[in-house]
C-alpha cells in the first residue's frame, strides 16, 4: 500500500489551473522524485500533501488518512510525522546550529536536557555536522545550512520527508554530499522521501520512482 495516494487532484489559483486530474502514488520506504519545469506546481503539490492548501477536487491520502477531512488536531499530529526541507533552508537566524535542530524537539516533546542533547548530536552526526553545533547560520556555507535544515527535518523521526528543490544553488561538491545523504537517510531510517526538483541528473541518481508533471498532470 502506498504511503501517499493522490487521486483526480484538481487545483487552481484564480483563473490558472495548476492540476487537472493528477494521479500519483508514493510507495513506502522509497525515494520518489517529482519533476517538471518551473511553474508546474511541484512546490504547491507538497503544500497540498501537507494540508497547507486545499484542493478544488480530488483526494490526498497519507498513511490511509484523507488529509483534507482531518480535524485541526488530527492534521497537526499527521504533520508531526512529516519532515520538510525547504528550498531556502529556512534556519532560524538568531539560533545556533544546535538550537535550530533542537527547536522541534523543544516545541513538541518534553525530553529532559540530557536526552535532548544526545538526540540533537545524533541528528547532526547523521548529516556530518556534529562539529558545527556552535556555529550561527550566518557562518555556514549554503551546503552546510541545507544539511542543518535536514538534521532539523529528521529531529522528530518522521515517517516521510519532503524535499523542495534540495539541489538548487548548491555547488557540485555540496550537491554530491546531499545526494548521498538523502539516499543514506532514507535507507538507514526506513523513511519515505519525496524529492521535488528540476535537477535531472542528481534526482535521477537517487530516485526509485520518477514522475514528470506537465500541464497539470503526469506525463
Domains and CATH numbers, the chain: 30-54+71-218 (3.40.50.300)
**Residue 202: what pLDDT?**
87
pLDDT < 50: residue spans in the chain: none
- CA–CA separation, 29 vs 8, rounded Å? 24
- CA–CA separation, 133 vs 125, rounded Å? 10
Contact 38, 198 (CB under 8 A): yes
- CA–CA separation, 106 vs 38, rounded Å? 36
**Residue 161: what pLDDT?**
96
3-state secondary structure of 211: strand
**Residue 89: what pLDDT?**
67
For residue 174, what is its C-alpha cell? 555540496
pTM for the whole structure: 0.92
Q: 53 exposed, middle or buried (CB, 10 Å; 0-12, 13-18, 19+)?
A: middle
3-state secondary structure of 155: coil
Q: Across-strand partners of 85? A: 163
Render the burial of 106-140: b for 16+ CB within 10 Å, e for the rest.
Answer: eeeeeeeeeebeebbeebbebbebbebbebebeeb
Contacts of 32 (CB under 8 A, 6+ apart): 26, 192, 193, 194, 195, 207, 208, 209, 210, 211
Contact 172, 202 (CB under 8 A): no
Query: Tens of pLDDT along 185-211?
Result: 999 989 999 999 988 888 999 999 999
Contacts of 52 (CB under 8 A, 6+ apart): none
Amino acid at each position: 500500500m502506498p504511503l501517499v495516494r493522490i487521486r483526480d487532484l484538481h487545483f487552481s489559483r484564480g483563473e490558472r489551473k495548476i492540476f487537472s486530474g493528477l494521479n500519483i502514488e508514493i510507495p513506502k520506504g522509497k525515494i520518489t522524485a517529482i519533476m517538471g519545469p518551473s511553474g508546474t506546481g511541484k512546490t504547491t503539490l507538497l503544500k497540498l500533501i501537507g494540508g497547507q492548501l486545499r484542493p478544488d477536487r480530488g483526494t490526498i491520502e497519507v498513511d490511509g488518512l484523507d488529509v483534507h477531512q482531518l480535524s485541526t488536531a488530527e492534521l497537526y499530529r499527521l504533520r508531526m510525522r512529516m519532515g520538510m526541507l525547504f528550498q531556502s533552508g529556512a534556519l532560524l537566524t538568531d539560533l545556533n546550529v544546535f538550537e535550530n535542530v533542537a527547536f522541534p524537539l523543544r516545541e513538541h516533546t518534553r525530553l529532559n536536557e540530557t536526552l535532548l542533547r544526545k538526540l540533537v548530536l545524533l541528528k547532526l552526526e547523521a548529516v556530518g555536522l556534529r562539529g558545527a553545533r556552535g556555529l550561527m547560520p550566518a557562518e555556514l556555507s549554503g551546503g552546510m545550512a541545507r544539511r542543518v535544515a535536514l538534521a532539523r527535518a529528521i529531529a522528530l523521526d518522521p515517517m516521510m520527508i519532503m524535499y523542495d528543490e534540495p539541489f538548487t544553488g548548491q555547488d557540485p561538491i555540496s550537491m554530491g554530499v546531499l545526494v548521498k545523504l538523502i539516499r543514506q537517510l532514507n535507507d538507514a531510517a526506513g523513511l519515505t522521501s519525496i524529492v521535488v526538483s528540476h535537477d535531472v541528473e542528481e534526482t535521477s541518481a537517487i530516485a526509485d520512482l520518477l514522475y514528470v508533471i506537465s500541464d497539470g498532470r503526469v506525463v
